[in-house]
Structure 1
Amino acid sequence: MERMNSTQLTEFILTGIPYPPKLRIFLFLFFLVIYILTQMGNLLIFLTVCIDSQLHARPMYIFLGVLSIMDMGTSSIIVPRLIMNFTPGIKPIPFGGCVAQLYFYHFLGSTQCFFYTLMAYDRYLAICRPLHYPVLMTSKVCFLMVAGAWVAGSIHGAIQATLTFCLPYCGPNQVDYFFCDIPAVLRLACADTTINELVTFVDIGVVVASCFSLILISYVHIIQAILRIRTADGRRRAFSTCGAHVTVVTIYYVPAAFIYLRPEANSPLDGAAALFPTTITPFLNPLIYTLRNKEVKLALKRMIGDRRAMSKN
């Protein structure tokens, strides 16, 4: 752990999350089960959207299917390494592995922000401009939006990874976090990080603030349109189509803002907050979208019914 000014680090050690030693096995099994259920739940949503003809032709569910891929990716980047921390011994992560983890986390995280915004825009068009919806939200437009979100996310991730790892790292190599993220890694740099912290704050702040503002504006118009619906049943159905999206946006943006958009990003609560976008949200998304969305539940029933019919034949 000695600081060697002339030697570039080749690996980092992730300290993980603090826990009582007696809970080691419980936490190992807990996060392992969470990871398995996350992968299975999101894979089920993705397959349902792909297989069901009534879903994969609608932009709202195309976005949901792609969101499931991102949740599987985010969980796979973070949770296996987190689980390893509950096994005996020190398991360092290579320097290149740390770079890749940071890049893909911010790549998928920013892309997810863009997708939540696209999903809000889709709901705005469907509820506020239903007659123009088929013209404004065509398959081509939907594909371009999806591709644009992926490209913008990859650029954002590349900027953050490049800015973070262009600095020299000569020791110590202990990252006081459960994955390689910007605030924790920058504390180990052997150089002034003021500019990096400022650029990170502004860059992530612009992405989060602009996406959240567009979502908020969309829902202001959506609520106004829903309140103009005369029947209580019509208002209920309109609200139900937006409820799941509002829920996942809330549990995603609040922890992200707490971690990155504070002047002092070195709080013991950062690790607990980071568990939400990295572990809890990917696990909850399939549950939220299936329990609150009748069309997804019907599609799952149709898919299960078709499987049973094929097995009987």
Structure 2
Amino acid sequence: MSLDISVIVPLKNEEESLPELAAWIDRVMQANNYSYEVWMIDDGSTDDSWEVITKLAAGNNHIKGIRFQRNYGKSAALNEGFRAAKGDVIITMDADLQDSPDEIPELYNLIMRDGYDLISGWKKKRYDPIMKTIPSKFFNGVTAKMSGIKLHDFNCGLKSYRRKVVKSIEVYGEMHRYIPVIAKWAGFRKIGEKVVEHRARKYGVTKFGLERFINGFLDLASIMFVGKFGKRPMHFFGAMGFVFFFLGFVISFYLAFAKIVNLQYNMTDRPIFYLALLFMIIGSQLFLTGFIAELVTRNSADRNSYLVEERLEIKA
């Protein structure tokens, strides 16, 4: 049975905040008469988070839980939540009470009333340490520039989605921060932003680590490549290979012509001769990489898997 809203809460070691968060979400849902479910995804907690989730679920049948055997990361938790969600609108939020459930009604309305596919929260005023806010601004600027999506805060945990969006995408690695980019490449173009309240952390400590930015930029490169060339890798590697091979060929032709004009001319004494060889070798390797990638793609089980918006058949 379809519900109005599914709330997905990925968490690790948040036992203190969970009862308050669950009660707050329930108050908002009851006040707005929404049918709902809350999926709490325990990402390998080492405290009593799972025991708290179990008690909350026993007292409120809207609350459901998934427990990972070990820590897999936020992307994995969100992906499992997306697979389990039954709501028409899926809302994600962090478990640390820095995201306010009072934002839920407007996030729901922007999807159902205004027709957005995805709404990303923008924590315009933040209560995070400077070691997190400065790199985050740089990361968001680079991502917006590369993806063409005009958002201020890609990594905000508070987002809302049309159900079709979360059922059409897969999130892994550190790619949860790039869900708007993944959604865009999947064909969902109506992506918006809403300024949301960001609250100071009430319990525990942040799980933030600087290594996330290194992994994040690598994942962005992966998404941009797979989204554009995933089904036609030869177009990328072949073009790059042609450029390098052509440069090497032109240099080699110039050196050969110089040798014909002047027989005393020694090609191998010129550093540019070895640069030409290097360019031609790199070009050949890129071509071969493209061919191998094409073979892998053509033998992939989902090589002809496409998202179909509508199908019209007129029967005679």
How high is the TM-score relative to the length of structure 1?
0.23
When you count strand as a share of all residues, which structure comes out higher? Answer: 2
TM-score by length of 2: 0.22
**Higher Rg of the two aligned structures:** 2
